[in-house]
């Protein structure tokens, strides 16, 4: 098990190469790679997406960085065609392929919000199942996350949906902050998951009201209980620090220090995990 960190905010601020070097210098050996694109990054999943991804893989290899999970782009919306004729759908397909190139085992693909009159579960079943041929082709699992704007607000609902997808290429990602602000204590959400269904997690803190994505111990989550629940579950993925808003009010010159602090916090969580596992 390793501590990983989502690299999107660092890449957005400094570019790919500098971001990866900063993450490595902070002591991380694993990242959660974000395929979401910001202004000026349209090339990332464009015509030369394979070459771009291979260059990133080479850089990661040179730095000694690995990748367990990735984030698919978030741009696809309800009403668009669920096939590769739609660019935002094609970008997700390319992200699945690129995840395999980076060596990731899992890609997190977000469920799609739908109008009130549309059946959320039926629409998203079709949406997720449309990616199954690509998951099988590239050997990457697709994780369904308990998003705030979905209906997966309890472990039962999340597990039930993954089981409805009916393939070993689908699993669940438990976001502890989303659990907290949708009414279930994170440790209870984790404990309520069926064995083997939860294969990745997103760790961050909140005030229990909004989706803060703060570094652990800056909100009101009970981290001893959360880590104990993960250990008792038998979780064996990465401990991913999804602290994307911890940089929001920082000068860029402080990003490196924040990364070092995040690694220290991650090390503490991993230490607690190993103690509870024993």
At 227-250, the pLDDT tens digits run: 999 999 999 999 999 999 999 999
In the predicted model, is pLDDT for residue 43 greater than 90? no
90-124: per-residue pLDDT in tens?
Answer: 999 999 999 999 999 999 999 999 999 999 999 99
Question: 43 or 74: which carries more pLDDT confidence?
Answer: 74
Total-model pTM: 0.96
pLDDT at 40: 74
- Structure tokens, 114: 């739908």
Q: Which domain holds residue 150?
A: 3-277
Q: Mean pLDDT, to the nearest integer, of 145-172?
A: 96
Closest CA to 123 of 135, 112, 137: 112
Distance CA 129, CA 249 (A): 39
Please tell me whether residue 215 adopts helix, strand or coil conformation: coil
In the predicted model, is pLDDT for residue 37 greater than 80? no
Look at the alpha carbons of 42, 112, 144, 1 in this order and tell me if their dihedral is positive or negative. Answer: positive
66-75: per-residue pLDDT in tens?
Answer: 999 999 999 9
Beta bridge mates, 32: 6
Distance CA 162, CA 125 (A): 9
Q: Mean pLDDT, to the nearest integer, of 193-202?
A: 97
Q: How many domains does the chain have?
A: 1
Closest CA to 178 of 225, 210, 156, 217: 210
- Structure tokens, 99: 């995840």
pLDDT level of residue 278 (50, 70, 90 thresholds): confident
Domain of residue 131, CATH code: 3.20.20.150
- Structure tokens, 273: 């995990």
State the DSSP code for 31.
Answer: E
Q: How high does pLDDT run on average in the chain?
A: 96
Distance CA 277, CA 269 (A): 12
Give exposure, 74-85, as e/b (b: 16+ Cβ within 10 Å). bebeeeeebeee
Q: Residue with structure tokens 């079943």? A: 125
Distance CA 91, CA 98 (A): 10
Distance CA 245, CA 64 (A): 26
Closest CA to 219 of 227, 230, 211: 211
Q: Mean pLDDT, to the nearest integer, of 138-144?
A: 98
pLDDT level of residue 46 (50, 70, 90 thresholds): confident
pLDDT at 42: 73
CB 8 within 8 A of CB 36: yes
Distance CA 88, CA 8 (A): 18
Beta bridge mates, 6: 32
Helix (DSSP H) and strand (DSSP E) numbers for the chain = 11, 8
CB 134 within 8 A of CB 93: yes
């Amino acid at each position: 098990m390793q501590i990983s960190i989502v690299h999107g905010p660092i890449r957005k601020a400094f570019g790919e190469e500098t971001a990866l070097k900063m993450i490595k210098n902070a002591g991380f050996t694993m990242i959660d790679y974000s395929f979401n694109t910001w202004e000026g990054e349209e090339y990332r999943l464009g015509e030369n997406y394979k070459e771009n991804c291979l260059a990133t893989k080479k850089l990661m290899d040179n730095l000694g960085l690995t990748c367990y999970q990735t984030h698919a782009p978030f741009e696809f919306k309800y009403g668009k065609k669920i096939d590769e004729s739609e660019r935002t759908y094609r970008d997700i397909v390319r992200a699945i392929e690129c995840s395999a190139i980076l060596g990731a085992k899992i890609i997190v693909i977000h469920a799609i919000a739908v109008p009130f009159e549309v059946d959320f579960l039926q629409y998203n079943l079709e949406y997720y199942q449309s990616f199954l041929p690509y998951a099988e082709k590239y050997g990457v699992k697709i994780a369904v996350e308990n998003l705030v704007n979905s209906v997966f607000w309890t472990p039962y609902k999340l597990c039930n949906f993954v089981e409805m997808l009916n393939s070993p290429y689908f699993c669940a990602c438990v976001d502890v902050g989303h659990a907290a602000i949708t009414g279930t204590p994170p440790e209870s959400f984790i404990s309520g998951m069926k064995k083997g269904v939860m294969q990745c997690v997103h760790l961050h803190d909140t005030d229990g009201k909004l989706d803060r994505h703060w570094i652990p111990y800056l909100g009101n989550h009970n981290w001893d209980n959360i880590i104990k629940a993960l250990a008792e579950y038998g979780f064996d993925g990465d401990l991913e620090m999804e602290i994307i808003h911890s940089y929001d009010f920082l000068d860029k010159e402080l990003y490196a220090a924040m990364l070092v602090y995040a690694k220290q916090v991650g090390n503490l969580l991993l230490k607690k995990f190993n103690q509870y596992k024993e």
